[in-house]
Amino acid sequence: MDGDAALSHPMWFPPEHALPVRVRVLCMAYPEAVEAISHGRCTFRAGKRQFAIVGVGPEPAVLFIPDDLERPVLLERDDVFVPPYEGAYGWLAIRVQSDAGDWELLAELLDTSYRQVALQRQLRALDGG
């Protein structure tokens, strides 16, 4: 990203902020996971495809791609919502603070999200195949 593009997006949760630091621990454990700054947010990718995004504007939340069957149940939760832009593409978000929130559930959601976009070789590496 060039400098001008970086300036056009406020960075609510920079890479050293406690929320991306904690999300990074979960995401970077996946085979071939990479972190990139996109539109002023820390994103995590399986190769080229995103599976996690930190922050919905100033709100501390993590965006993920849910399993279609789990989506309706997730949306019944008070801490899960459809994010403004990515929601149109099937993403959901869960509110979490670096020191609060359902981090066990988040870990499961990130696992599902990674599996939605990962390549077959990445899934084999993940599952020890």
Instruction: Please state the domain extents for the chain.
Output: 24-126
Beta strand residue intervals within the chain, DSSP E: 33-38, 41-46, 49-56, 59-64, 80-81, 92-95
| Residue 90 scores a pLDDT above 70 | yes
Say what angle helices 103-117 and 18-27 make with each other, to 10 degrees. 50
Reference 111, options 54, 53, 65, 76; nearest CA is 65
User: pLDDT: is 104 or 2 the higher one?
Assistant: 104
pLDDT at position 11 is 87
The mean pLDDT value for 72-76 works out to 98
The mean pLDDT value for 66-76 works out to 97
Q: Which band of pLDDT confidence, cut at 50, 70 and 90, is reported for residue 10?
A: confident
| Residue 5 scores a pLDDT above 80 | no
pTM of the model: 0.90
CB 118 within 8 A of CB 30: yes
> In this predicted model, what pLDDT tens digit does every residue of 23-69 receive, in sequence order?
999 999 999 999 999 989 999 999 899 999 999 988 999 999 999 99
- Please tell me the CATH code under which domain 24-126 is placed: 3.90.1150.30
pLDDT at position 8 is 59
d(CA 107, CA 53): 13
Q: Which band of pLDDT confidence, cut at 50, 70 and 90, is reported for residue 93?
A: very high
d(CA 76, CA 68): 14
